[in-house]
Amino acid sequence: VHFTFFFLFLIFCTMHLIIIEGNISSGKTTLAKQLETELGYSVFLEPTITNPYLVKYYAEPRKYGLKMQLWLLRQRFRAYLAALSHIAETGQGVILDRSIYSDWVFAEKNRRDGNISEEGFAYYSSLRSQMLAALPLPSLALYLDVPASLCHSRVHNLRKRECESTIPLEYLEGLAVCYERCNEELSKVGVPLVDLDWSEFGESTTVGAQVKSVVAAGRETGARGIVTDEVKQLLDDSERLHSLSLLPHDVYSTWYDEEIDEGLHSNLPYAEFEAEEKARGQKEIAG
């Protein structure tokens, strides 16, 4: 009896999906790796090192803003699916270092800065909404609250990544504002959100205890990180997964006209452009 109870408790406390959110250089990856040991979860890191647009984006944000955001959106969609697959196959919980939910933060900041047009943002939003509608909500979101000025200091004095060397304080301040709205939306749809003051970092053991408390308490979210039969069907349906990374003809058409006007891609005939973009989307989602 005791063994059965322990086994069920173990499954209940591990088959969950936790997302860690926060500004650039807030400490997400470090905490994720610490919680990996603390909770016995698997960590899926954000795809930054292999980002083919990152250096180009920082050099020419208006030219590459939408292209990079679409690439990141598809990568984060893939990461979320991979996390669900891992849970389904192993029963082990997963921690995501940033997620498809906060991908909106960077897209919105690009829109506000004029790097993504209203038409381009509508294209992005339609694609993201299509993806999110198919996904279960995460079990829990951890938000690392760090002042933008401190993140700026960490970026330039601690991380010292060459591609981030030109990031201004104003950009990080803008991301912080967008994150506030993102967190509000997460709470509205029922995702438990734990706001952590991470100005001086913190103890992973304390955070781990908070995670266990939220998960164990249930709060009507206990099953949200667990892969249901419906989610399993989605994971097994490769054709549907590919279709979720693409959009209907009319949405492509709007984006195409806007991109031509801005001179952001070669002046391909529309049919060729649509075929090229769909092929790119399928390649990105397939990895």
* Torsions phi, psi for 20 (to 5 deg): -110, 125
* Torsions phi, psi for 19 (to 5 deg): -110, 140
SS3 192: coil
Distances from the Cα of 280 to the Cαs of 141, 216, 220, 246, 283, in angstroms?
31, 42, 39, 10, 5
CB atoms within 10 A of CB 66: 27
Distances from the Cα of 247 to the Cαs of 66, 127, 250, 251, 266, in angstroms?
15, 6, 8, 6, 21
Type of residue found at 215: V
Task: Judge contact between 40 and 92, C-beta under 8 A.
Answer: yes
Distances from the Cα of 13 to the Cαs of 43, 218, 222, in angstroms?
16, 10, 9
Q: Which residue among the candidates 97, 195, 229, 261 is catalytic per the annotation?
A: 97
Task: Judge contact between 227 and 84, C-beta under 8 A.
Answer: yes
DSSP string, 85-110: HHHHHH---EEEES-TTTHHHHHHHH
Q: Is 197 a catalytic residue?
A: no
As to burial, measured by CB atoms within 10 angstroms (0-12 exposed, 13-18 middle, 19+ buried), residue 108 is buried
Q: What is the token pair recorded at 75?
A: 């990568």
Torsion sign across C-alpha atoms 98, 100, 106, 109 = negative
**Active-site residue set:** 97
